[in-house]
Structure formats: C-alpha cells, structure tokens
Chains A and B, each alone.
Chain A
Amino acid sequence: MTTTQAAPSVPITTAPAPVPAGRPALPLTTRLAALTRSGLVQTVLIVAAVAWLVPTVGLLVSSLRPKQVAATGGWWTALTEPAQLTLQNYTALLGGGDVPEALWNTVLISVPATLLTVALAAGAGYAFAWMRFPGRDAVFLGVVGLLVVPVQVGLIPVAKLEGAVGLFGTIPGVVLFHVGYGLPFAVFLMRNHFLEIPAELLEAARMDGCGEWRIFRTLALPLAAPAVASLCIFQFLWVWNDMLVALIFAGNDSQPLTVYLQSQMRQFGSNMDILAPGAFLSLLVPVGVFLCFQRFFIQGAMAGSVK
C-alpha cells in the first residue's frame, strides 16, 4: 500500500524527457558550462554502471574457472588469459549429485506456490470486489492489516503447526508457508484490479443470466490478466529466491538450490567451484524472467515491495 498507490506503471524503457525544441541560442560560457556538466554526468553514470556490472561479471568469470586455476589469482586474471575459462565446473555440478536435485526442488516449490497463491487470491479478490457476504469490508480491512506482517513472525508457530500434521520438512510444507505469506498482498492486488472493471459490464452479464462463476472465469479474470501476470512473476521470483523459509521448512531431501548453496558457505573460498556456478545458475532464471517480462516485473516489484 505504501507503494501501491504511488506505483505508476512506468516500464524502464520510458524515453527521456524530450528537450523542448526551439530553445534560444545560449551564450558561449553557458554552453561550455553545460558541456562540462554533461561530461561530468556521463562520467558519474559510467562509473556507476561499471560498479553495478563488475560484481556479476566477476561471479560469471569465477564460475568458469576450474579450482586449480582459481587458486592462482583473482578472476580478473582471466581477462588477459581467457584460456582459463572452461565449462567444467558446470558439467561437474549438473552431471549429478545434489545440485540437479536441489534445482528440481526449487521448481517443485516455486511453481505450485505461485499457482496456488494466484488462484486463491483471484477467487478471494473477486469476492471482496464484487460479491456480498456478511463482514466483507471488515475482513478485507484485516487483510490490509496483514500486508506488512514479517514472515519471521510465522516461522516458529507454523513450524510447530506443520510438525503436528507431518508437513514439516516436506515440499508441501514449504509451499504452504509461501502461500500463506503471499496471500495478503496477492488478495489485495487482485481485489483492486477487479474493482477497475466497470460495474455496468458485470451487471450486463448478470442480466443476461450468466452465473457468478462464469462471469469470474470468462469476464473478470481475462480483464485482470495483466495483474495476474505481474502477481505470478512477483510471487514466482519471491519463492524462487527465498532462502529463509526453506532453510527452516525444507528437509534434507527437499532443500532448494538456495539452501544447498548456503550449506556450502562454510568452506567459502575453497569451494568457489561449487558456489560460483551454483549462484550463477540460481540467478539465471530470475534474470531471464526479468528481461522477458520487464514491464510486469517492475509493476509487481513495485507493488510488492511491501513484503
């Protein structure tokens, strides 16, 4: 909320503000000053761009250097000796053992957690927007209140709860937790988007004798498709990137990639041949999603940053 209201739908690719045409000719000193300033701006931004790029490039290059080579110097030495780079860390990592399984667990956790959250939130959001039931507004106010509850509050109690029903340490247990803490924002977002639909449209459908379920499925849901897409992307990345919840709720055979990599941190330095390619694999999917669905991603991230 703190963000959602102010979140304008600006994709990154907005054009810079146009310079008004037909500006009167400026005196030379002013033009010189402007030139210096623009040089300064360019320099500052180039330095910033390098600072933002280098860490990730470093990870990529590190992930391509075999263990023996990595011990001989920093990753930047590979820039002058590209012969250092091989795919052997990746083939070793993906060839078997824990990483493919952890990667698969990540998928098994993130996909259901996303679909379930979005499905439940779409239904509830529609009901909060267009159906009448006792206490509707008060209950929704409660959902608004839950928006900022930190996941940390749920860790101990839900672990107990899931332990009691035998879900603790399983993939469904992790999924369930993510659904619970994804719901407040998801319901909030869906309800607000359903409200954007003109009442007359729904009224007309009702007049035509459409049932509420059919209206929801064939009219409301398609109209709210952009919101559904944003929500899917946001929730998917949230769960894919999660470490804390899985650290507690996943068992040894259900741990996702983040938890597996975390368990390798103890020998940091000596096992960069696992950590660097592992981390790079784990960020490939989010970055790919980001690049493909930029617009939705930014809307989702902006609206969801309250979490």
Chain B
Amino acid sequence: MSLRSPRSGRASGGALRRHRGLALLFVLPALLLLGALVVYPIGYSVARSLFDASGHRFVGLDNYGTAFTDHATLTAVRNNAIWVAVAPALVTAVGLVFAVLTEKIRWATAFKLLVFMPMAISFLAAGIIFRTVYDADPHRGALNAAAVAVHDTFNDRSTYPGAHPRPGGGLDRAQGGDITAPTSTRVVLLPLVGVQPGALPATARTAQEPAGGDGVSGTVFLDFVPGGGGHPGRLDAGKKGLPGVTVQLRDGGRTVDTTTTAADGTFRFGAAPTATTSVVMPAANFAAPYRGVDWLGPAFITPAIIGAYIWIWAGFAMVIIAGGLANLPRETIEAARIDGAGEWQIFRRITVPQLAPVLGVVFITMVINVMKIFDLVYIIAPGPVQQDAGVLALRLYLVSFGGGNDQGLGSALSVLLLLLVVPVMLLNVRRFRGSRA
C-alpha cells in the first residue's frame, strides 16, 4: 500500500467549490464518530485519571502512584513487561523458523493453512481450548496426559501408590520409602496395607504360602480380609497377593537379585540367605504417581498463556516472513552456496540480515498487540490465579467494571496503556509525513 502524495486537486475552481459541500458529506460522519468515540475519550481519560473513584474529588497523580504501589496492579505491570520481553521475540522466531523450513517441503501449503488458522479464532475459543489443554488432571488435560505418558515410559510406574506396612508389623520403612524385612530366614512374609481392594489388578489371586526350599522365598500380600476377620500379619484365607511388586535381595548395601511377585504374591530368589541379607521392596513400588505440571497454577500461568499466544500468532508471523522471503534475491544465496557456505551460515549471515525489515515489522506489531493482551489471560487463568497472571488491560477491566468500581484508577491505567503506544503513534505519523515530502 502506498503512502504517495495525493494527486487530486487539479479540478477547476468552480468544481472545487461544488466539491466542498459534498466533501463534508463524505468525511463528516466518520470524523464525528472518531471525535466522539476516540478523540474525546483520550481527553476524558486523562482528566478522569486525576480524580478519585467517586469522580468528585481531585487527587492529582495519586491514581498513578497507586498503579505503581498497589500489589495487584504492580503484578500486572510486571507481567506486562514479561509479556513484551518474551512473547514478540518468540512469535517472530517461531514464525521465522516455520517460514524458512516450509520452503523445503512439498506440503507447505497445508502446513501454512493449518498454522495460520488459529488467527481466525477468537481469543475466547482459543482460551477455552487451552484451558482444557493445560488442565492439571492428566485425565482431562492433554498436555499433562502426554507428560505422564512420556514420564511413565521412561520411569517404572509405581504399582501400589501409598501402600505401606502395618505400624509395628515387623517391617521397616526406610527414609527413602524402601520397605525392608530384616531377615536372614529362608521364608519371609511381607504384609502391606493402604491399598484399596478395588484398586488391585484384575490378575491378583489369593495369596499363597511361600514355596520354601532352597534360596529365599516369600509372599507379598494385602493384609486385609474383605468383610473382616483374620489376624494382622498372617496369611489368612481371603487375603489377596500383590502381583507385580519388585522385590530385591540385598546383602549389606549390595543388590544380589531382583524379581517380581507372581499373581498370588509369591516370589523366590535362588541365592541362600546369610546373616546380612535382607528382602527389600524399593520405594518405586509405592511412590505417588507422576501427575504432570500444574500449568494453571501461579508459577506457570504466564508462560502457559504465552504458549497459547504463540499458537495463535505464529502463523501470522510465518506468512508475513514467508512473503518477505519470497521477495529476497536468490542470487546471493546461490552464490554463497556455490562458495560452500552451509545452510546454517546462509541462514544466519544472509537470510536473517536481509529479512531484518520484515522481522522488525512483525516484532513491533506483536509488541503493540501484546501490550493490550486481555481476553486470553481472562479466559485461561482460573479465578484464584487471575491476580498472579494479571496484565494491565485485565486490571483496567477489573478495576473499572469487574467489581473494583474505581474508574479513576481505571482511567489512569488506560492512560498508561496509551502512553505505551505513543512512540508507535509518533513513528507512524512521522513515516507518513516523510513519505509525502
């Protein structure tokens, strides 16, 4: 789009005079609305920000003082700074990477459509989408479900979280959670409690006496008879074995042998016991399961929302940067390639410097955009952590309309928001004048 100087005005004087009335008809409606809805509010906000909540008492710059001392507002200012420092750079970087990489694949069009589509979606819908993605419960939140799945692939899943020996039942529980039977006998019973009978695996059978014979044998069982009865620590009828428990035979600190219990809870080691051997069930059997990350908690909320923001805007950055990339002269790159430059070198020394103006445009656009971020934070941050996630625009809304009922402070915040974009405003006006000179 050009900002060339208008070429109009060559019409004769008579025509011009006739124009004047008509011209007013053309511009006046728009200008009246702009005046009443945009220009006047700027003045009103500046004036209103100097008065207290009631609007009757002049308080000078007190509201601005409050903005920088009040805890919630200060948090908002700090979060806004984090947003501006992190989000535009990340969006631009992701967009750049996508734009460069898609040049090398056949399904670039499909990829670009897919990544650009979130731009069309409202922040509300995106917010609802990411509220579910980030849900802390791995049975609801996709991200934590994935995290748990990955975690459990690389770590043994504990089979009986929370299971423990009966207090005073003869088994020791070490600091780390290992459960030990300090024994040098051939037969060992390992009764545990703290497992819901309903939580037993379907394969669990009635516990059997240890097989005896050479080596060390034993039974791990749930020391509980459904419906009552039985004696604690004994292998009574109706008690179930605990299958799948990892059991180790240790001698001193050294692990001699490792095995897993069968469906009836029995296990067996070939080695004969000595005075120093013990049977140990490692803590991993009973550890609480990994539950993922509390994305929507106070610690992670802002990074989590920035993640959703990147999901929405990376496509925009990608499309604009790809447009710039398509206009770059290919000769330099080809020449560098012939001179033996690697792809990374070409990217860093040629592509990025040549793209600098486009990257700058994307970056600045994102900065302006991020300063006013509201919907996404309001929707994704659950009520209790809304203050931890607060940003200026959200604070403004809450203070003036969402129960705060202090339009003095609200106006001060809106003036602050306006001040933040004034440099861009001046830049726009100067550029525009420059292009006409």
Contacts and interface: CB of A to CB of B under 8 A. Distances in A.
B122 A1 contact: no
Interface string B15-51: 1101110111111011101101111111011001000
A154 B38 contact: yes
B54 interface: no
A242 B140 CA distance: 28
A159 B397 CA distance: 12
A287 B327 CA distance: 28
Contacts of B140: 74, 269
Contacts of B133: 55, 58
B324 interface: yes
Contacts of B31: 124, 139
B115 A279 contact: no
A237 B125 CA distance: 13
Interface in B316-337: 316, 319-320, 322-324, 326-327, 330, 334
Contacts of A155: 396-397, 400-401, 410, 414
A120 B320 contact: no
Nearest to B33: A180
A129 B383 CA distance: 50
A147 B334 contact: no
A248 B18 CA distance: 43
Contact of B115 (A48, A123, A143): A48
A195 interface: yes
Interface residues on B, range: 35 or more
Contacts of A179: 33, 37
B383 A266 contact: yes
Given A12-B112, A183-B34, A6 B324 contact: yes
Interface string B113-149: 1111111111111001111110100111110010000
Given A154-B41, A156-B411, A189-B1, A282 B33 contact: no
B287 interface: no
B23 A153 contact: no
A225 interface: no
Contacts of B320: 3, 6-7, 302
Contacts of B131: 265, 268
Contact of A127 (B27, B401, B436): B27
B132 to A, nearest CB: 6
B202 interface: no
A17 B41 contact: no
A48 B310 CA distance: 12
B346 interface: no
A37 B125 CA distance: 37
A199 B357 contact: no
B19 A243 contact: no
B116 A12 contact: yes
A59 interface: yes
A298 B417 CA distance: 27
A8 interface: yes
B432 A44 contact: no
Contacts of B371: 150
Contact of B432 (A141, A146, A149, A212): A141
A199 B7 contact: yes
Contacts of A193: 1
Contacts of A120: 29-30, 33
A237 B37 CA distance: 21
A212 B19 contact: yes
Interface in A213-253: 213, 216, 237, 240-244, 247-248
B425 A55 contact: no
Contact of A12 (B109, B327, B357, B368): B109
Interface stretch (A83-91, A92-100, A130-138): A130-138
B105 interface: yes
A176 B417 CA distance: 22
Contacts of B130: 55
Interface in B378-401: 378-379, 382-383, 393, 396-397, 400-401
Contacts of A161: 36-37, 40
A297 interface: yes
A258 interface: yes
A16 interface: yes
B124 A261 contact: yes
B44 A129 contact: no
A154 B311 CA distance: 29
Contacts of A157: 40-41, 44-45, 48
Interface in A25-56: 37-38, 41-42, 44-45, 48-49, 51-56
A6 B218 CA distance: 76
Interface in B139-173: 139-142, 145
Given A2-B361, A16-B103, A203-B11, 9 more contacts: A7-B1, A52-B115, A59-B128, A124-B27, A155-B397, A160-B44, A179-B37, A199-B10, A280-B125
7 contacts: A1-B431, A74-B141, A158-B37, A161-B36, A195-B4, A199-B8, A244-B374
Interface of B: 1-4, 6-11, 15-16, 18-20, 22-27, 29-31, 33-34, 36-42, 44-45, 48, 98, 101-106, 108-109, 111-125, 128-133, 135, 138-142, 145, 311, 316, 319-320, 322-324, 326-327, 330, 334, 343, 357-358, 361, 364-365, 368-369, 371-372, 374-375, 378-379, 382-383, 393, 396-397, 400-401, 407, 410-411, 413-415, 417-418, 421, 424-425, 427-429, 431-433, 436
Interface of A: 1-8, 10, 12-14, 16-17, 20, 37-38, 41-42, 44-45, 48-49, 51-56, 58-59, 62, 73-76, 120-121, 123-124, 126-133, 137, 139, 141-161, 176-177, 179-181, 183-184, 187, 189, 192-193, 195-196, 199, 202-203, 206, 212-213, 216, 237, 240-244, 247-248, 258, 261-262, 265-266, 268-269, 272, 275-276, 279-280, 282-283, 286-287, 289-291, 294, 297-298, 301-303, 305-306
